[in-house]
Amino acid sequence: DYELCEEWGHLYPVPREDLINLHREHLLHLLEMGDMEKALQLLQRIEDPGICLAISEQSLDQHPNLAASHFLADYLTGHFYANLTTARRNEIQALYMGSKVLLTLPELSRVNYFHLSSRPLLMLEQLLMNMKVDWVAVAVETLHQLLTGQEIGFTIEDIDNLLSKYAEKALNFPFALKEKRS
């Protein structure tokens, strides 16, 4: 049905908003089905870059599943980096990094941290608080690779400071040692 509507859009004038809504729904449907290749083809077929940007941003704002969010954040930063405001760029890059970190976690645990996908530092802190040290190691390595040369509102030093803070807390003993008296 989406493809039929798309053909009608080529034959008859369709208002811009309706065209954006059609393509957004089609894109979200393809992403929910896990067909990233067709989703990419759909975005490449759209000739107007303004419409393509609007569709991609609106789709991302619908908070689709993890793979779809990762795909859309990657597409937006890859194709429309210069068209985004600095704040929006940072938000999308943080979502990309957060979704990349989530993809490194065991599949059954991802749902517990999905709500933090746009806040990678907070996700890292939550993993530390939940004593998921092995997962933190992989997450930190992934973030270090992704942050190289990036400006997204936090740095490698912020990650190191967070790790230092929790390492210090792990060494705090909640009781004082008493001396033995003779």
HSE of 111, CA atoms in CB hemisphere, 13 A: 1
Q: What is the per-residue pLDDT for 90?
A: 85
Determine, yes or no, domain membership for 179. no
Do 19 and 5 meet the contact criterion of CB atoms below 8 Å apart?
A: no
| Residue 34 is assigned to a structural domain of this protein | yes
Q: Averaged in consecutive runs of 10 residues, what is the pLDDT profile of the chain (182 residues)?
A: 77 85 91 90 88 91 88 90 87 88 89 88 89 88 80 79 84 65 60
Domain that holds residue 42: 1-84
**Are 93 and 42 in a shared domain?**
no
Give pLDDT, residue 133.
84
pLDDT of residue 72: 92
The C-alpha angle with vertex 105 and arms to 129 and 151, in degrees rounded to 5, equals 80
Are 99 and 64 within one domain? Answer: no
Based on the fold, state whether residues 92 and 143 are members of the same structural domain: yes
Would you state the pLDDT for residue 169?
78
pLDDT of residue 118: 86
Q: What is the pLDDT of residue 28?
A: 92
- Please give the tally of structural domains in the chain: 2
87-91 contacts at long range (C-beta below 8 A, 24 or more positions apart) = 88/57, 89/152, 90/151, 90/152, 90/153, 91/118
> Are residues 76 and 103 both part of a single domain?
no
Which of 19, 50, 84 is the last residue in one of the domains?
84
pTM over the 0.85 mark:
no
Displacement of CA 81 from its chain's centroid (Å): 15
Query: Over the range 118-154, which residues count as b (16 or more CB within 10 Å of their CB) and which as e?
Result: bbbbebbbbbbeeebeebbeebbebbeebbeebebeb
- Do 28 and 59 touch, CB atoms closer than 8 A? yes
Closest C-alpha to 60, from 118, 123, 142, 103: 118
If phi > 0 it is left, if psi is from -120 to 50 it is alpha, else beta; for residue 34 that is: left
